[in-house]
Amino acid sequence: MTVRELFAGIADVADDTCVVGLTCDSRRVKPGYVFVCIEGPAVDGHKFAKQVHDAGAALVVTQRQMGLERELTVPSSRRTWAQLCANWFGNPAEQLHLIGVTGTNGKTTMTYILKSILEQLGHKVGLIGTIQNMVGDRVMPSGHTTPDPYELQSMLSLMSKEGCDYVVMEVSSHALDQDRVEGCVFDAAVFTNLTQDHLDYHKTMEAYAAAKARLFKRARHAILNADDPWAQTLAGGFDSAELYTYAVNAEGASYTAQDIQLRADGVTFRLCGNGEEAPLHLPIPGMFSVYNALASAACLLTLGFPFEQVVKAFAHTQGVKGRAEVVPTNRDFTMVIDYAHTPDGLDNICRTLKECAKGRLLVLFGCGGDRDKGKRPKMAAMAAKYGDVVIVTSDNPRTEDPQAILRDVTAGLPSDCEHIVIENRIEAISWAMHHACPGDTVLLAGKGHETYQILKDGVIHLDEREVIADVLASW
């Protein structure tokens, strides 16, 4: 690829020098590379402009004049960097249907729901997000919610080459503010909600919302949560996308959820929109699941997928492993695995399950070793607040004495809290299951998607789904 070809659609550069690489990291520059100077929060790439120029860079892209022979100055080096990455990989987004999800909460679960339903509808789907990246069933590690432009375009290129036709991705406010998705046009973009977060970066809620709104300027269809007070502000930040809304409470939304039923094994409601309605069931508990399901359905219906097929697919969708994950037991009690390992996280999942539990809520949890000891009594207080029975056990004790951790935790339990302490997590799970009564819900908190336990002597295999299966098999 020549410099002229690399800058096609970006800048008119009459230079047919061969480009052998592209980077914004001065340590990776070799002769024939194009280097883009980016002003980062800690390091300014312009500091290395002359160094890489003298080392043989084919071109140095700057945001301010550096007086170099092979230099191109642009209004925004971040935006140009993302555009160049798209060109370098052949603009793979143009070969894919992109669905972007943004908001403070719900992004991860929603992308998994969308991926699951699209696959049930016959598509091969790529996923880019917080926990992991996926090409169909193949899993790859994730460093950021939304990757750097070079990694993002590389990932999209791989997905296209391996036969994906849809890609669902979490799009963070940081990524939008830093132009990481420049070069991508989204078939649909979904807004979940906006609550206080990341103000160390954005400073104000208004700036946070403005960053989120930038996604919808890059979308053909915008699907906004009309129940969120920031939806109207976001809708005023773009005019190019077709606007659709979803809501549980707000009137006049394009898609609504009626006759909501919350149960420990999932949610059911009547989905209404497009002049059609039908009962929809998602086997993930909690009111947040109603919003995630409603938003996902609104997105897919907006894109033209058949109403009946979309509704049917939800019943076979499991969401994210280890996030309010209901584990089938074929028993008259419900087992839920969740990654909650902070006081706030435990509060959220316990409150959710308490609202829909028919019987008692049994809360099993522990606290990690070599970590913040101050949260141990706080987590105990949260478990006691909602749990009818609390089972205190080990999480990842690491190098700490497990018994010392258990003492710190139980110190936070009220005197009238019904509880038991069982250090061995497998034995604790077995105890909880054997003491569960009809209608009870058993929450296993802390491990979530993890399939291991970190002990003083090393790491052992521990998958709570396997433990549940073993206990059931022994009955």
CATH code for the domain of 68: 3.40.1390.10
Q: Are residues 144 and 209 in the same domain?
A: yes
Edge-to-edge, what's the strand order for the sheet holding 325-327?
A: 325-327, 334-338, 441-445, 361-365, 389-392, 419-421
Tell which residue, 189, 173, 185, has the closest CA to residue 83: 185
Expressed as residue numbers, the domain containing 257 is 92-314
In a domain, 278, yes or no: yes
pLDDT means per 10 residues, the chain with 475 residues, are: 96 94 96 96 93 96 96 96 98 98 88 96 95 91 87 97 97 90 96 77 85 92 96 86 96 97 91 96 90 97 97 90 91 94 89 91 97 93 98 97 97 97 98 97 95 96 98 95
158 and 10 in a common domain: no
pTM for the full predicted model: 0.83
**Domain end marker among 88, 114, 139:** 88
Nearest to 417 by CA among 369, 372, 377: 377
In this structure, the answer to whether residues 41 and 139 fall within a common structural domain is: no
Residue that the structure tokens 């509808």 belong to:
121
> Cβ distance 256 to 234 under 8 Å?
no
* Residue 334 domain-assigned (yes or no): yes
Q: Does 239 reside within a domain?
A: yes
Q: Give the chain's domain count.
A: 3
Q: Do 365 and 349 belong to one domain?
A: yes
Same domain? For 304 and 379 the reply is: no
Q: Find the helix packing angle between 77-88 and 149-161, rounded to 10°.
A: 20
Establish if 410 belongs to a structural domain. yes
Token digits for 321? 């492993």
Using CA atoms, how far residue 42 sits from 76, 176, 198, in Å, is 18, 19, 18
Q: Are residues 72 and 102 in the same domain?
A: no
Which among 251, 178, 258, 189 is positioned nearest to 211, based on CA atoms?
A: 178
| pLDDT value of residue 298 | 98
For the chain, give the number of residues: 475
Tell whether 319 is covered by a domain: no
| One domain for residues 170 and 264 | yes
How far apart are the C-alpha atoms of 243 and 224, rounded to whole Å? Answer: 8
Residue for token digits 């959820």?
257
On the CB side of 157, CA atoms within 13 Å amount to: 14
Question: Phi/psi of residue 246, each to 5°?
Answer: -135, 150
Residues 290, 389, single domain; the answer is: no
CA distance 126 to 133: 8
From CA 276, how far away is CA 254, in angstroms rounded? 11
Q: What is the pLDDT of residue 199?
A: 73
pLDDT attached to residue 407: 97
Q: Residues 161, 297: one domain? A: yes
Q: Answer with the one of 88, 106, 128 that is the final residue of a domain.
A: 88
Same domain, 148 and 30: no
What confidence score (pLDDT) does residue 370 get? 94
Tell me: do 458 and 365 sit in the same domain: yes
Position 395 in a domain: yes
* Strands in 55-172 per DSSP E: 59-62, 71-73, 97-102, 125-128, 132-135, 138-141, 166-170
Domain at 173, CATH number: 3.40.1190.10
**Boundary of a domain, candidates 31, 54, 88:** 88
How many CA atoms lie less than 13 Å away from 49 in the CB half-sphere?
24
Task: Look up the CATH number of the domain holding residue 385.
Answer: 3.90.190.20
| b/e code 122-151 from CB counts within 10 Å (16+ = b) | ebebbbbbebebbbbeeeeebebbbbbbbb
Nearest to 419 by CA among 427, 404, 409, 405: 409
320 within domain boundaries: no
pLDDT of residue 141: 84
Instruction: Give the pLDDT confidence score for residue 247 in this predicted structure.
Output: 98
Q: Are residues 74 and 98 in the same domain?
A: no
